Amino acid sequence: MNKKLLTLFAFMIMVLFAISGCNSKTSEQGTSAADAEGKIRVAYIARAQADSFAAWLANSIKEEAAKYPNIVVDVFDGQANDDVENSLIENAIINKYDVIIIQPNNGEAQRPYAEKVVAAGIICITTNARIAGIEGASSVDADPYKQAAVNAVAALEQIPQGANVVVLNGPPGNFHADERRRSWQVEFFDKRPDVKIVGEQIANWNKDEALSFMETWIQANDKIDAVISMNDNMAAGALEATKGDAKFDNLLVYGVDGTAEACLLIKEGKMTSTCMQSAYDLSAKILDTVNKLVNKEAEQIDTDIDNPLVTKENVDQYIEMYKKTGAIS
């Protein structure tokens, strides 16, 4: 055999090994059909694992799924990127999952891909936030308008006359981000024309972005009385920027999600209130919805969790909840 044939033969062997290696990695990217034989395969497409609430929800879904011996869940990270998330949805369709759960980064960007899930005959559930109006798709969520309203109503009495406030928004096009901001407008700003917004930015649910904006606002303003944030992660970022500055000892800070971090900040008197969006409650409803849809107990389910306000008066009960689950030691 000459050198050229030997080289070609060696190359073909390498290709065969490469193909074999790629096939063997299926379980790293998701549970293969063979591994999940006899079980319901669920793909959960998370918005972004770097987001504290998104990570809490993804972990809670995995834990809740363990209660169902007939269900196996694979979690995929959308990395707060529409292209990444949409690609993950398409891959889940190609890999023939029985159920695909989508936590949208931008509901309208994910809408056509959720519609593809339905068209493929796969059970589709959207959550946190739901994508409304998709025939054949189900949803499990909370009401973002009410989540913000419980804070806004309290703030009517708490924020002083003539106050300067800053506002931190989630990504535009996100149902929760848009509805929470609308709620603050209707339930607070329209009723308190004396309050001045001295800074407002989109921080994309991100703590570091919120910290950076707050640092800029502190330099630009002699007085900031309140931080109105559409989630806890951004609220915590704003508080980082004020750490050690006595000028902000009486700063009022509002958020949504009821994360463990936010509850501890409320207990310490650094944060004013949040709305509990329990990932435990969401995950319980999500897996119950999966089970009912798979067993054909319903064709479509749309359901919400409650929106309790968390303040220094009741925060201990939520801290105790986190201690029982190990989220707070």
Q: What is the pLDDT of residues 175-189, one digit of tens each?
A: 999 999 999 999 999
Same domain? For 178 and 238 the reply is yes
pLDDT at 15 over 50: no
pLDDT in tens, 120-165: 999 999 999 999 999 999 999 999 999 999 999 999 999 999 999 9
pLDDT in tens, 230-289: 999 999 999 999 999 999 999 999 999 999 999 999 999 999 999 999 999 999 999 999
Same domain? For 211 and 126 the reply is no
Model pTM score: 0.80
Same domain? For 90 and 194 the reply is no
SS (H, E, C) the chain: CCHHHHHHHHHHHHHHHHHHHHHHCHHHHCCCCCCCCCCEEEEEEECCCCCHHHHHHHHHHHHHHCCCCCEEEEEEECCCCHHHHHHHHHHHHHCCCCEEEECCCCHHHHHHHHHHHHHCCCEEEEECCCCCCCCCCEEEECCHHHHHHHHHHHHHHHCCCCCEEEEEECCCCCHHHHHHHHHHHHHHHCCCCCCEEEEEEECCCCHHHHHHHHHHHHHHCCCCCEEEECCHHHHHHHHHHHCCCHHHCCCEEECCECCHHHHHHHHCCCCCEEEECCHHHHHHHHHHHHHHHHCCCCCCCEEECCCCEECCCCHHHHHHHHHHHCCCC
Same domain? For 266 and 286 the reply is no
CATH of the domain at 96: 3.40.50.2300
Residue 2, burial from CB neighbour count under 10 angstroms (0-12, 13-18, 19+): exposed
Tell me what pLDDT residue 11 has. 39
Same domain? For 58 and 177 the reply is no
Percent of the chain with pLDDT over 90: 83
Q: Is residue 113 part of a domain?
A: yes
Same domain? For 192 and 134 the reply is no
Q: Is residue 11 part of a domain?
A: no
Q: Is residue 174 part of a domain?
A: yes
Same domain? For 256 and 215 the reply is yes
Q: Is residue 130 part of a domain?
A: yes
Tell me what pLDDT residue 50 has. 83
Query: What's the domain count of the chain?
Result: 2
Tell me what pLDDT residue 173 has. 85
Same domain? For 75 and 135 the reply is yes
Tell me what pLDDT residue 157 has. 98
pLDDT at 85 over 80: yes
Q: Is residue 107 part of a domain?
A: yes
Same domain? For 113 and 159 the reply is no
Average pLDDT, the chain: 90
Same domain? For 128 and 152 the reply is no
Q: Is residue 15 part of a domain?
A: no
Q: What is the mean pLDDT of residues 86-91?
A: 98
pLDDT at 303 over 70: yes
Q: Is residue 96 part of a domain?
A: yes
Q: Which domain holds residue 98?
A: 31-140+280-298
Tell me what pLDDT residue 49 has. 85
Same domain? For 155 and 265 the reply is yes
Same domain? For 253 and 160 the reply is yes
Q: What span, in angstroms and rounded, lies between the C-alpha atoms of 119 and 117? A: 5
Tell me what pLDDT residue 13 has. 34
| Token digits of residue 281 | 């409650």
Q: Is residue 315 part of a domain?
A: no
